[in-house]
Structure 1
Amino acid sequence: MDDTIAKLTKRYKTNCPFTIARALGIHVRFHDLGQSTRGVYYRKLRRRLIVIHNELSAEWQRFVCAHELGHDRLHQGLSRFFLEEHSFFHPGKFERQANRFAVKLLTSTDTIGAEETVERFCTRHGIPGEMHQFY
């Protein structure tokens, strides 16, 4: 995961998930996804699409984009919907990996200060409080 993030940030000279997604040819769209869904990554044939709930705060939209980008980079060929409906494998592991990917990507251009807490570091990088545990 660290190598993947390092290659992405080096190649595209940014850790902005929207810029990286665009450079990779992933379409990012914003739609109302209802109460319980923040984002979706979808791959159909050669088209890749990230859909983000349009009523989320800018902080959450950025995190969700990074999370869905994590699915694109880490879980190629896997569909969460297929896993839930046709196998006994629980997709929770993949969600945790995508959360960790998002946190690492969004903090990749900086290191935690000597006297800085993880919470403060993550907050400084715009990571929602619920996601600090994935640092």
Structure 2
Amino acid sequence: MEWWIEKDVDHLTEKFGILNAFELASELNINVQFNNLGSVIYGYNNNSHRIPMIIINSEIDERTQEGVCFHEIFHLRHHKGFNTQFFAVNTNSLLSDHNENEANKFMLAMLRDEYGWSKQEDVLDFLDFFKLPHELASLL
């Protein structure tokens, strides 16, 4: 993982403690909303009148929603103006875009810290726990 992503994870956990994604969003003054986004989109972010906002699919599993929230927090903090739908089902590869790759690494690191996952545990079990695609295993 890139050193600066690990440094960002360390910075956030030192500043706020280990929080779940929704508590972290609140601490960062990011508005999180849940809407039915169908079966294709997990979530996305935008800014409305300079207020950062994350919209998460209300139809996906709660653990997956937390991962999506971490993913979108990273985009709002580091990819200003970058707006894409997270985990669009029709996407050929979740790892094809550099910005998505970075946000996925951040998401996995934050989930790892929050849930106390260690490298000794099975990576696919970790991804299954959050109902995340196995394609992300290469990032752990």
| TM-score of Structure 1 vs Structure 2, range by shorter chain | 0.7 to 0.9
1:72-83 aligned at under 5 Å gives the runs 72-80=76-84
| Equivalent in 71, 74, 77 of residue 75 of structure 2 | 71
Letter in 2 for 1:68: E
Counterpart of 1:134? 139
SS of 1:71's equivalent? helix
Letter in 1 for 2:79: H
Are 2:123 and 1:118 aligned?
Answer: yes
SS of 1:108's equivalent? helix
Counterpart of 1:86? none
1:1-135 aligned at under 5 Å gives the runs 1-80=5-84, 92-109=97-114, 110=116, 112=118, 114=120, 116-120=121-125, 122-123=126-127, 126-130=129-133, 131-135=136-140
Runs of 4+ in 1 over 2 A off after TM superposition: 76-81, 108-111, 116-120, 126-129, 131-134
Letter in 2 for 1:112: S
> Quick one: distance in 1 between partners of 2:123 and 2:64?
18
What count of residue pairs does the alignment treat as equivalent?
123
- Structure 1 length-normalised TM: 0.78
Letter in 2 for 1:60: T
User: Percent sequence identity over matched residues?
Assistant: 25
CA deviations 1:32-79 (Å, max 9, x no partner) are 112211101112342000000111111111111111111112212434
For the 8 Å contact 1:15–1:108, the answer to whether it is kept is no
For the 8 Å contact 2:45–2:84, the answer to whether it is kept is no
- Structure 2 length-normalised TM: 0.75
Give ranges in structure 1 of 5+ residues lacking alignment.
82-90
Give ranges in structure 2 of 5+ residues lacking alignment.
86-95
Letter in 2 for 1:94: N
Indicate the larger mover: 40-49 or 71-80: 71-80
